[in-house]
Chain A
Amino acid sequence: MKSVIAEDLVKTYRDGEVRALDHLSLDVEEGTVLGVLGPNGAGKTTTVRILATLLKPDSGRAMVGGIDVIKHPDKVRQIIGLSGQYAAVDEILTGYDNLVMFGELYHLGKKQAVLRANELLERFSLTESAKRPIKTYSGGMRRRLDLAASLIVKPKVLFLDEPTTGLDPRGRLEMWGVIEDLVKGGTTLLLTTQYLEEADQLADEIAVIDHGKVIARGTSDVLKKQVGGERLEIVVEAAHIEKTQAIVSKVSGNKSSVDAGIRMVSAPVSTGATALIETLRELDAAGIHPLDVGLKRPSLDDVFLSLTGHIAEEKEEAK
């Protein structure tokens, strides 16, 4: 069953001057994670806001949990959780106060709200800072609290808009851990991101969007295949570059290229690990000891490049 369906969504701003969504369609299978991947200005936030009932599309249809978002926004709000692009919690209140307040607004009643708040604080390792105002929190703590606030009533469908943008690498890893745990619990998740590795890491399926349209979708493996197979990469001493190049070309059957700066010889290969082993054997026979070897699968950056013909460019984001 599809938990989220968006069909032909169109949204324009400034009297049609800015076309944020241009017939965008996507869907999310129940219990899975869809990563919506696109550069700044691609239309990610607009999509999420429409699905979360905050914005009405100019045209198109959207269903969440089988409920029409445009016709019954109130019902949709009862089954979704949303964590926006900017951690939307009350800076002045403490983490605990925030969660209790939102719990009460979900009509849990004071007692339940307090229980749930403590439970969530514990789960997101925020118990120690629970009684401090949010303005003293780090970026990662804020995002975790924001996520906690969107989980108060165990939503059927969760929307996370760029959950790790602006976090340092450690904050990002923590957030990934938290999201992975959530997903194990069976939550249906639509997550947007500008980071290719993030979609790769967290999503079952990826929809690549650009200029308000879905330009490709599939599992990250499928998307990568679309770009071509793997690449063999070998780093050697400068003196061995030429010989290595000859070997790699011979094994791969493809023209190899050299990055002299990092002394890396590389070539596309279709046989993967077999090609790698054969190359190593030949290098060994020639008395060459590689400094580093690897089989590189194409990154999603490569995917974007090959899909759009341009690298992920940023559209100016109007505020």
Chain B
Amino acid sequence: MSALLDIRIITQRQLRLLTRVPEVLIFSTIQPVMFVLLFRFVFGGSIDTGQPGGYVQLLMPGIFVQTVAFTLAGTASGLAEDLKKGLIDRFRSLPISPSALVVGRTLGDSMLNIVVLVVMALAGLAVGWRPSSGITKILIGFLFLFLFGYALSWVGIYVGLSVSDARVVQNVGFMVTFPLTFLSNAFAPTTGMPRLLQYFAEWNPVSTMVAGCRELFGLQNEFGATAGSFPSENPLLMSIVYMGLIMLIFIPLSVRKYKNASN
């Protein structure tokens, strides 16, 4: 019971950081909204999707996934910062379980995504995004996005504790996230990629997430489907497997690393 309370307190702390530094919230929202507008109006005209409703229908799930993927960098750099300041030492010297501390942190960090996703969805709707699958499926789609961000936030804990300089962590986060989101079906079909990349892109969890969300938002999965590989045929199943794997590996790993953390 007291562990739940601890989790709540730490979650609240992470959320409070957001209200105290509105810049974080503003910039984590402005950037994806900017992406929506740029891609919609710069590429939207020239990419022929063969889908009703045009490029923006395919684009939105891609940007949603890319945005929640940045949770990894966010968690990692916040943690590295706290580690450097000795705050983690203080937390660890308290009579509470380290797991509670990390769970609270990952929860709080991924809750930022709820706000960001809502704002992006509104921006999407404004520029012509029209999910057509009905409210239940749409909500399941957003639940998937939230969970993906949550899973990656556990990777963020590990990265933040391993590379303990906040600026380096930012860069590492981006270096991991950017190629992963672009070597995927998020913004362009994988069919145009060289064979090897195509293979990578299809197995990329970002692709399965994007394809899964497209399905849940009511699109046929044509943009992603290519060689008929397993992940592109079963994106939702594969996404669940990936999220499960990420958490299975990184939750124990990160908790253990946190217990022995030192700056």
Contact = CB atoms under 8 A, between A and B. Distances in A.
A283 B185 CA distance: 96
A92 B20 contact: yes
Interface stretch (A50-58, A119-127, A235-243): A50-58
Interface in B66-115: 85-87, 89-96
B92 A88 contact: no
Interface string A39-62: 000000000010011111000000
Interface string A66-90: 0000000010011010101111111
A174 B55 CA distance: 65
B2 A93 contact: no
B262 A90 contact: no
A88 B86 contact: yes
A149 interface: yes
A295 to B, nearest CB: 42
A54 B93 contact: yes
B94 A54 contact: no
Given A77-B93, A92-B21, 6 more contacts: A82-B89, A87-B86, A88-B87, A88-B89, A89-B87, A102-B90
A149 B87 CA distance: 11
Contacts of A90: 13, 17, 87
B16 A52 contact: no
A105 B94 contact: yes
B38 interface: no
A107 interface: yes
B233 interface: no
A288 interface: no
Given A54-B262, A84-B90, A86-B85, A93 B95 contact: no
Given A88-B86, A90-B13, A93-B20, A52 B94 contact: no
B89 A54 contact: yes
B9 interface: yes
B16 A93 contact: yes
B6 interface: yes
Contact of B262 (A55, A85, A104, A150): A55
Interface in A84-122: 84-93, 97, 101-102, 104-107
Nearest to A85: B86
B85 A91 contact: yes
Contact of A93 (B10, B13, B90, B260): B13
A102 B94 contact: yes
Given A93-B20, A105-B9, A88 B85 contact: yes
Contacts of A102: 90, 94
Contacts of B87: 88-90
Contacts of A77: 93-95
**How big is chain B's contact interface, by range?**
20 to 34
Interface of A: 49, 52-56, 74, 77-78, 80, 82, 84-93, 97, 101-102, 104-107, 133, 149-150, 319
**Interface SS of B by simple majority:** helix
A78 B95 contact: yes
B94 A49 contact: no
Contacts of B2: 107
B153 to A, nearest CB: 19
B13 A53 contact: no
B5 interface: yes
**Interface SS of A by simple majority:** loop
Nearest to B21: A92
A55 B88 CA distance: 13
B9 A104 contact: yes
Contacts of B21: 92
B13 to A, nearest CB: 6
A105 B6 contact: yes
Contacts of A133: 20
Given A92-B17, A92-B21, A133-B20, A101 B9 contact: yes
Contacts of B6: 105
Given A90-B13, A93-B16, A84 B86 contact: yes
A49 B89 contact: yes
20 contacts: A54-B89, A55-B262, A56-B260, A74-B95, A77-B93, A77-B94, A80-B93, A84-B89, A89-B90, A90-B17, A93-B13, A93-B16, A102-B94, A104-B5, A105-B10, A105-B94, A106-B94, A107-B2, A107-B5, A319-B263
A102 B95 CA distance: 11
Contacts of A92: 17, 20-21
A108 B60 CA distance: 46
A319 B21 CA distance: 28
A149 B91 CA distance: 11
Kindly name the residue among A84, A90, A97, A105 whose own CB sees the greatest number of chain B CB atoms within 10 A.
Answer: A105
A101 B13 contact: yes
A213 B20 CA distance: 45
A319 to B, nearest CB: 8
Contacts of A93: 13, 16-17, 20
Question: Nearest 10 CB-CB pairs, A to B?
Answer: A88-B86, A88-B90, A77-B95, A86-B86, A78-B95, A82-B93, A84-B86, A92-B20, A88-B87, A104-B9
A149 B261 CA distance: 21
Nearest to A83: B90
A105 B96 contact: yes
A54 B262 CA distance: 8
